[in-house]
Structure 1
Amino acid sequence: MGKYATPSIRHGKHGLGTRNDNGERLADLLDSRRLYHGNSLFEKPDQRRWTWRSPNGDTTNEIDHILANRKWSLLDVAVLPSFDVGSDHRLVRAKVRLNQKFLKKDYHQPSRPRRPTYDITTLEEKISEHDWQLLDDPTADYESLCNGLIRCAEPAARPTSSLPPRLDQRAKDLLRRRGEVKRDPQVTHLERLTIDKACRMAVQESLANRRRSALLQTAEKRQSLKKKKFELVDERTALEDSTEGRERPAEDVKKRDFYTKLFRSDVPVPRTPTPPPEDEPPILPEEVKYAIRKLKVGTAAGPDNISSELLKAGGDSLYRLLARHFSKYLSEASIPEQWKTSKTILIPKKGDLTDLNNFRPISLLSVVYKLFTKVIVNRLEKQLDNFQPSSQSGFRRNYSCLDHIHALTQVVERHREHQMPLALAFVDYYKAFDSVEINAVLNALASAGVATKYVELIANSNERTSTTIQLFDKKLSIAIRKGVRQGDTISPKLFSTALEDAMRQLGWDEEHDWEDSTDIRGINIDGKVLTNLRFADDIVLFSSSTTELSSMLNDLDEVGKKIGLKMNVKKTQWMKNRFCDQGKVTLEGRDLQEVTSYIYLGREVNMVNDLQAEIGRRKRAGWAAFNSIKEVTSQLEDPKLRAHIFEASIIPAISYGTEVWPDTKKNATALRTSYRALERALIGTTRFEQWKKEQRSTDLRQLSQIRDLEEHIQRGKHRWGGHVNRRQDDRWFTRLTHWIPRNIKRPLGRPPTRWTDYFRKNISQPGRHWMTVAQDRAAWRTCGPR
């Protein structure tokens, strides 16, 4: 397997030597069979890691492996060097945790309540007939509103189609028969054992049939298999702790102290004076209706028990009712106290799950509160987006991750082709959304020109807030004094506005005098300076030297600290190409880790645009997606439905980001090979069986009825190419696509394959350049796959 700088979900980063082709095959096996590589999960010295020695004694390798289907059960994997087995291999030992007592406690949970549906006519009629009151106190007013909605919803509720019963009639009859056998003194011990075994087999078969039936019905309705599997789960995973569950009171104290410190305000930020507030237009029922249409169904209802399904079924009467209450809260710039409390769930990220830094706290808020903030953010969206530069593409309409992935790969491609120095720094903030100071957010909103009434409303929404975190059996109440709540619809806009307001102090994006270039940082792209690209808090900095890059990082860190942001020194990394100087990049005097590749917005980037590692990631993503649907596709008889589920799950995973890949035969072959392996797994055959039956790939395609991956990728590349060239707002990916360094002569020789070569080869003709054709949407559609 070799050493691997970035661990994946299936293997760790520890190993011996470099990974070869057999290691890649083993990695594919782990993904396809959903196994974990035990050797790489534990750090060992090299002399305690090798498992085989060559006959001449000069070469050692790690070729014996421990694979497990449950990662949590492995406590240690090590070689026993002193145990002589009379072979050129050494014995590998794995320590496994098997503790049924803690498993039963950690994994038991009651069944989840079923979500009712609502009769629209009945609910709207009840809302119209109810005597609604508009109280002066927002807290009492909202309590009255919730009680009224719940009373109106009760007669309109309709039970949802529940899951099939866990036990079928045969299993129930056998369990009843076992009770009779147990009570009969004349029954022999063998008969008792026989009926026990029959009951166990019947229960297992009944549960399997129930799960199979529920998933097949979901697939036939073309609904979400992921949600249905979540419904069928009868166990929960408790938060891991280093004490294996025996010291939970101490662990509760530790985690309470951690989140209390995290949400405590540490940086004093004075408020900027704002003009006196003026009355804003009242909220219209049409605004409420539009925001409700955007609500997701199936989300948690919140502490007030008002679900999104109820709001969607309320009709015009509910729109008018909520508009009146929302307008009152807006006019008074005050929200109910119920909206200031939330429940926080911890979503695990990559890394050691015993470290609380590797969890993302998500706030479960009232659905009505999220609806209210959605109405507010709809009013402020255009104003806040205009405050952002084109380098920020996070949580903005008509922007995507692909914008910055394309821009970054074009920068690397040009610098490699023209042999120009390039250094990149990938900034990681420590708990960015939870660390930004509220006053810094409010000052940024005032700088963006947001009306004072909205600023005061947002200030009130973040005063005296609190959250509860349930780690094990005890709920912990934590006061929140800083940060924007992850889970709130307005939080991304608030954070990006505060970050932009802070970065404007750097003056990086201002107009510069190119004759006096001593104060210019970044790289010159046809007269415009590119210093950074941002997707919310994911920032990459650009420079042509390590000294300048260090200065930019420290300047950014300084302005970030003023609003509460702190860079994570361990995760902030940098890399350079071979034409850059050999200096170090430092942050506050500490050397940052230099890497040869970095995963940016889901795409692994390196300085030579080598896609082999990224192709390996796409393969593993494809197998992971297939394993999530294999349970259903293996039982479906309808080939069209099976193909639909396969395409909806596999193609997006395996083709992510391919729109900006250069078109090479090697890349196409690698993806095609993996796609055909997935296709064989879909129809339940193997490569040997295919060879034995003398079947060609076209024969398998007729059986599977799935779309061709290469055609899908080419259509996506063609659409993206037209989109890039038709943009008129001077975005970075358009400017960089057209960029040719004018003051540097390209070296002799054939350059590496460019992204634009695909279009020059397939579209450009004498007297007609592909960029010119792309300006006309109708002409562009006729000259390529679509």
Structure 2
Amino acid sequence: MAMFTLNSSSGVSSPIGSPGGASMNSDVTIKVPFKQRTKIGIWNVRTMAQPGKIQNAIQEMRRIDLKILGISEMRWTGANHCDIEDFKVYYSGLPKKLEYGVGIIVHKSIAPKVRNFVPINERIMLIQMEAAPVNINILQVYAPTSDHTEEEINYFYTQIASITRKIPKKEVLIVMGDFNAKVGQGRTGNHIGPHGLGERNKQGDKLSSFAGENDLVIMNTFFELPPRRLYTWTSPQDGKKEGLIVRNQIDYVLINQRYRNSCKSAKTYPGADINSDHNLLVAEFRVQWKKLKTNQSNKPYDYRKLKNQDIKKRATEMLKKELEHIKNSPETDVKIDMINTAIKKVKTEILVRDPTKKKSWMTTEILELMEERRIKKQHDKSGYKIINTEIRRKIREAKELELKEKCAEIEMAQRRYDSFNVHKKVREITGKLKKKTVGKLENEQGEIIIDINEIKETWKNYVEELFADQRNEHEIPNTMTGPDILVQEVEAAIRSMKDGKAPGPDEVQTEILKLLEENFIIELTNIYNNIYNSGIIPHHWLKSEFIVLPKKQGAKRCSDYRTISLMSHMLKLFLKIMHKRLYRICEEQVSPTQFGFMKGLGTRDALFSVQVLFQRCRDMNCNIFACFIDYQKAFDKVKHNKMMEVLQDSGMDGKDLRIIKNLYWNQSATIKINQENTDEIKILQGVRQGCIISPLIFNLYSEAIFQEALENMEEGILLNGKRVNNFRYADDTIIFADTAEGLQHLMDKVTNISRKYGLEVNISKTKSMIISKEKIEGVQLIINNKVVERVKTFTYLGTTLNEDWDHSQEIKCRIEKARSAFNNMSKLFKTHNLTVEMKMRLLSCIFSILLYGVESWTLTEATTSRLETFEMWLYRRILRISWMDRITNESVLQRMKKDKEIMHTIKRRKLEYLGHILRNENKYHLLKCILQGKVYGKRGVGRRQISWLKTLRTWFETSTTAPVSSKQQPTKSSLPE
């Protein structure tokens, strides 16, 4: 190792990697290992939201050999990271507005060293990097200007001070960015050097205090340089008058005192250009980066290669060769290991994703113009402006060409019926291909957690607490009934498995399991039968991996995130076979008021039931008192002992019970945070996430609760002489009655029995509503001695319900959501590079948003007119026709070469749904009763309000009330009343 001697008498301390500090103002000799010099830049670019800005920054990084560049005024929305050419860009901004924002661009050679990224807010972000022997923390900031209030500026410094205190003292801390402060000339203590610029202002005092209190040194005040190498910002007033120079030093790089000597220089590069009023500030550090081992499991694989018949044949032959001795092994675990090894070999040798460089719209001509503009920056301002105008024009042309090429790719993919690439290209053009937003994590005291180990521990504790329970051992009856698994069942399950799903910890992928030939499927069937008959599940199948996704913008606490479980695809296949068997039991025992996870039923049936029944009750002056129940993490709070009792009572086969019991009692999980996993956690309650049989288990569990709670209850709505008092879609539950007392009685019983089964009602999210023609005041619903909030509107299964039961409000909401989706895709709809036919295919996506829940709508002339008006608005936008052009709707339709579509689609779907209900007497008996059954009450005087069936009779010009048999297709002359 190369060594050198450093003599210091300037009050500097030891460099990065040194074991300790030096005494101030004394000669000291420190032996330091030779380290790599790394340039780190700081630049306020005014905005990165303009096309071409990020490429401009990268070009300058290459020219100056910058490895890291901190950006102020990034102006990108959200917080995330992305790859651009040979660089990784981390950024933190506002959720929606293109204001403020910070970012750090890291070269690909250093990017793997980034261990943690913490987006604090739109002005502060942190990356933590692995170096030797201590880690490096870079805090990029953008301070408020003097136009902001004193409170905002103080809050900014309070935030960065709280972050710096969380960084271990032994680690390197670099705080850099645009501080909008002038510290001025003259030395201040040990934290500000003598070579600053100008006079200190009020914000400079704050920066000085911050640096002194946190033992930080402002490095670009310690190097004696000419003024042109010191100033970082040029005022708009600069040069307005002859001899007027207004240039200040407001961007700084700070480092903790202990490692100040690792900074070998800090100076500005006035010649660097990005069309900003700030100069690039570059600090050169002596750094020794930590060597990291390559993680082979993170290699990207391209399973779509298997669509190529030659590659598929190669993969199948390799799999066959690797598994030719599988019959010779008697042990189930060994056979599974052989399958895993064979699949891994196929992936690594055949399916590794080919390195492809993403085609960029940026041209060499534009980059050369940017370089020419840079050269003219210092001495030819008029030439600079001319070239800048030319660059903007060239960028517009390049972006238009890119759009044209992508539209051609969409057309080509559509002709090949390649829906995957059609969807992908559409998302690329509309900007919807960005990854999920990266969030930050706070502890119980509201403090941001910085340390990755503390983050992992916090998540581990949260998940352990979430799934903790006093679970006892559960005995399974000795009668082990259950038929063996058939080869045909395995084949059917493999065919029905969906592609493109993330693998579990064993990294076995469904796409490769589908390559197994018949003789190997027989072996797989034998493996499954051994497991099924013995009840012993391979230990690595019992391990799940949780990944966390934020539920909303600005997620801070663990409860603001959703945990997604990744499990073995081999286990998924096994459970898919069990699912077919268990579903028959579930279908027989679950009430018809449960619409979730039931074959042939869905949200439209739940919405139809609620909408039509409540409307008919209102027409008959039958008041409805409803409660929309929200359970606290219902799926995660299922008690395993209770669950097994419910499953035993369902009449499930003994072997199936044993498999489920072993699956739940032996399972464990880890949480994956920043590519690192926590220690294993025991899951003691809740249904298994990502498991195909979990919805069936939850339905049986929920059914047991409501059967016990509502047994012999006389409260509810009287329909055909029977009481109906609940509708459920999984855990989304509506309880209702025709009196306030009845609803209170129902809720008391449901709340108590739910608690017995481990489910708690979330009072803050549970709401009540009264649907009546008359105003009813002074009625309160009490749960757990707390008043449930009464609301006028409520969103149930994505549809807005209101106490007046006016469908026009929901239709207005659907129109606005469809309009918003159209505007997000306007770049595609307004371009001349796509055919009208292709645009109409894309428009079907907008129609699907508009017509969600249409089967339950009751339409009037006003709402019909509003829908048709919106349809014509869409066509006019596609053709770029303004209302001011005075072009009739008929002419617009002629240009589109089509007729009006929305109302035709609505009529067709409602009529088809009616026939669907009437043809399936057994399955849809409840829906038929809701539509045709007797609702008890007295109709009010005056004209009847238009009903669901009335709209159909009006559309198809019939007034008949003849009943329709369950096997008869409804026609114009046979619509029921």
Smaller-chain TM-score bracket = 0.7 to 0.9
Task: Classify the secondary structure of the residue corresponding to 2:817.
Answer: helix
Q: 1:274 to 1:252 in 2, by over 3 A?
A: closer
> Which of the residues 832, 836, 840 maps onto 1:643?
840
Task: Classify the secondary structure of the residue corresponding to 2:505.
Answer: coil
Q: 1:529 to 1:546 in 2, by over 3 A?
A: same
Contact 2:621–2:938 (8 Å) recurs in 1: no
Alignment of 1:601-640 (within 5 A): 601-635=797-831, 636-640=833-837
Instruction: Please tell me the residue identity of whatever aligns with 2:463.
Output: Y
Matched, 1:530 2:724: yes
Matched, 1:238 2:435: no
Alignment of 1:553-702 (within 5 A): 553-578=747-772, 582-635=778-831, 636-647=833-844, 649-689=845-885, 691=886, 694-700=887-893, 702=895
Q: 1: CA distance between counterparts of 2:373 and 2:839? A: 46
Alignment correspondent of 1:330: 532
Task: Classify the secondary structure of the residue corresponding to 2:971.
Answer: helix
Instruction: Please tell me the residue identity of whatever aligns with 1:505.
Output: E
Task: Classify the secondary structure of the residue corresponding to 2:810.
Answer: helix
Pairwise CA distance, 1:279: 5.2
Q: 1: CA distance between counterparts of 2:792 and 2:572? A: 42
Q: 1: CA distance between counterparts of 2:806 and 2:494? A: 45
Pairwise CA distance, 1:522: 1.5
Q: 1:710 to 1:452 in 2, by over 3 A?
A: same
Q: 1:458 to 1:627 in 2, by over 3 A?
A: farther
Q: 2: CA distance between counterparts of 1:663 and 1:314? A: 53
Contact 2:609–2:927 (8 Å) recurs in 1: yes
Alignment of 1:384-783 (within 5 A): 384-472=586-674, 474-477=676-679, 478-508=681-711, 519-578=713-772, 582-635=778-831, 636-647=833-844, 649-689=845-885, 691=886, 694-700=887-893, 702-703=895-896, 705=898, 708-729=901-922, 731-742=925-936, 744-763=937-956, 765=958, 768-769=960-961, 771-772=963-964, 775=966, 777-778=968-969, 780=971
Alignment correspondent of 2:268: none
Instruction: Please tell me the residue identity of whatever aligns with 1:260.
Output: E
Alignment correspondent of 1:50: none
Task: Classify the secondary structure of the residue corresponding to 1:323.
Answer: helix
Matched, 1:260 2:464: yes
Alignment correspondent of 1:58: none
Q: 1:446 to 1:655 in 2, by over 3 A?
A: same
Q: 2: CA distance between counterparts of 1:275 and 1:255? A: 37
Instruction: Please tell me the residue identity of whatever aligns with 2:718.
Output: N
Instruction: Please tell me the residue identity of whatever aligns with 2:971.
Output: W
Contact 2:301–2:352 (8 Å) recurs in 1: no
Task: Classify the secondary structure of the residue corresponding to 1:734.
Answer: helix
Pairwise CA distance, 1:572: 0.8
Alignment correspondent of 1:33: none
Q: 2: CA distance between counterparts of 1:205 and 1:465? A: 57
* Larger Rg computed on CA atoms: 2
Alignment of 1:202-213 (within 5 A): 213=405
Q: 2: CA distance between counterparts of 1:105 and 1:323? A: 53
Instruction: Please tell me the residue identity of whatever aligns with 2:878.
Output: L
Q: 2: CA distance between counterparts of 1:71 and 1:148? A: 42
Pairwise CA distance, 1:576: 0.9
Instruction: Name the structure with the higher helix share.
Output: 1
Q: 1:673 to 1:486 in 2, by over 3 A?
A: farther
Q: 1:255 to 1:305 in 2, by over 3 A?
A: closer
Q: 2: CA distance between counterparts of 1:107 and 1:769? A: 71
Task: Classify the secondary structure of the residue corresponding to 1:521.
Answer: coil
Pairwise CA distance, 1:147: 0.5
Q: 1:370 to 1:394 in 2, by over 3 A?
A: same
> Which of the residues 300, 314, 318 maps onto 1:122?
314
Contact 2:793–2:802 (8 Å) recurs in 1: yes
Task: Classify the secondary structure of the residue corresponding to 1:360.
Answer: strand
Q: 2: CA distance between counterparts of 1:458 and 1:552? A: 33
Instruction: Name the structure with the higher strand share.
Output: 2
Pairwise CA distance, 1:701: 5.4
Moved more, 676-685 or 127-136: 127-136
Stretches of structure 2 lacking an aligned partner (at least 5 in a row): 1-74, 80-91, 105-118, 130-297
Q: 1:673 to 1:718 in 2, by over 3 A?
A: same
Matched, 1:292 2:494: yes
Matched, 1:143 2:347: no
Pairwise CA distance, 1:567: 1.1
Pairwise CA distance, 1:206: 6.9
Deviations, residues 150-178 of structure 1 (Å, cap 9, x unaligned) = 33556664867x8663347x846876999
Aligned-pair identity (%) = 21
Q: 1: CA distance between counterparts of 2:356 and 2:532? A: 43
Q: 1: CA distance between counterparts of 2:782 and 2:299? A: 53
Task: Classify the secondary structure of the residue corresponding to 2:326.
Answer: coil
Deviations, residues 595-651 of structure 1 (Å, cap 9, x unaligned) = 11211112111232212321222012212432454343444432212211211x011
Q: 1: CA distance between counterparts of 2:570 and 2:850? A: 38
Instruction: Please tell me the residue identity of whatever aligns with 1:699.
Output: V
Pairwise CA distance, 1:591: 0.4
Task: Classify the secondary structure of the residue corresponding to 2:628.
Answer: strand
Contact 2:632–2:762 (8 Å) recurs in 1: yes
Task: Classify the secondary structure of the residue corresponding to 1:343.
Answer: strand
Pairwise CA distance, 1:586: 0.7
Deviations, residues 123-162 of structure 1 (Å, cap 9, x unaligned) = 44344443343666655442222102333556664867x8
Q: 1:214 to 1:444 in 2, by over 3 A?
A: farther
Q: 1:343 to 1:76 in 2, by over 3 A?
A: closer
Pairwise CA distance, 1:376: 1.0
Instruction: Please tell me the residue identity of whatever aligns with 1:166.
Output: K
Deviations, residues 192-238 of structure 1 (Å, cap 9, x unaligned) = 99999999998998788667645652454231455456789566521
Q: 2: CA distance between counterparts of 1:504 and 1:142? A: 42
Deviations, residues 59-103 of structure 1 (Å, cap 9, x unaligned) = xxxxxxxxx9947888899xxxxxxxxxxxxxxxx9965233558
Pairwise CA distance, 1:471: 4.4
Moved more, 198-207 or 497-506: 198-207
Q: 1: CA distance between counterparts of 2:386 and 2:333? A: 63
Q: 1: CA distance between counterparts of 2:625 and 2:606? A: 17
Pairwise CA distance, 1:718: 0.8
Q: 2: CA distance between counterparts of 1:192 and 1:314? A: 64
Pairwise CA distance, 1:317: 4.3
Pairwise CA distance, 1:276: 1.4
Q: 1:258 to 1:127 in 2, by over 3 A?
A: closer
Moved more, 464-473 or 279-288: 464-473
Instruction: Please tell me the residue identity of whatever aligns with 2:822.
Output: F
Instruction: Please tell me the residue identity of whatever aligns with 1:738.
Output: Q
Q: TM-score, normalised on structure 1?
A: 0.76
Q: 2: CA distance between counterparts of 1:487 and 1:616? A: 36
Deviations, residues 564-595 of structure 1 (Å, cap 9, x unaligned) = 21111111111113456742101111001111
Q: 2: CA distance between counterparts of 1:159 and 1:657? A: 41
Pairwise CA distance, 1:396: 0.9
Q: 2: CA distance between counterparts of 1:339 and 1:684? A: 56
Alignment of 1:157-196 (within 5 A): 157=351, 165-167=358-360, 171=363
Q: 1:638 to 1:180 in 2, by over 3 A?
A: closer
> Which of the residues 490, 510, 534 maps onto 1:308?
510
Q: 1: CA distance between counterparts of 2:846 and 2:366? A: 42
Q: 1:351 to 1:127 in 2, by over 3 A?
A: closer
Instruction: Please tell me the residue identity of whatever aligns with 2:780.
Output: K
